[in-house]
Amino acid sequence: MELFVHKGTDDEPEIILDEIKSKFHISGISTPEDAIEIYTNVLSWIDKVGPNLNSSLTCEFFFIYLSSASHKMIFAILKRLEDFWKKGKDIKVDWKYEDADDDMRELAEDFSDLIEIPFKIICVY
């Protein structure tokens, strides 16, 4: 069973990807020096788990801030998830944002317009 955990830092998000618990969670600030390195691990996890996914997978995103490099990688992750969704896998996205954070809400709206996965935009706080 595939498990990937990346502890969040001041400039890197917390990432928990747990196949056993069907948990996919990325949150925090994402301004890492090398976004490709961090998020390539997420893409690799999706590639390993996706073909064998037998239960539903809700992918939760909750960002405080995203750099442009992170933005591109998150879109790549969503597209990869969409590929498996189109193959019949039960994948959903929950994009959470803080009430006053119009930028994260608008980003979620943009992403939801660009992909076909069931996509909820959820205001918290």
pLDDT of res. 88: 95
**Radius of gyration of the CA atoms of the chain, in A:** 13
Domains held by the chain: number: 1
pLDDT of res. 55: 86
Given a cut of 50, the residues of the chain with pLDDT beneath it are none
CA 56, chain centre distance (Å): 15
Instruction: Provide the β-strand partners of residue 15.
Output: 6, 26
Q: What is the CATH number of the domain that holds 109?
A: 3.30.750
pLDDT of res. 81: 97
Tokens of 29: 């600030």
Contacts of 34 (CB under 8 A, 6+ apart): none
Backbone angles phi, psi at 98, to 5 degrees: -75, 145
pTM: 0.95
pLDDT of res. 1: 62
CA 111, chain centre distance (Å): 11
pLDDT of res. 109: 97
Q: Which domain holds residue 35?
A: 3-124
Q: Tokens 């090398």 sit at which residue? A: 34
Q: How far apart are CA 49 and CA 40, in angstroms?
A: 14
79, 45 Cβ separation under 8 angstroms: no
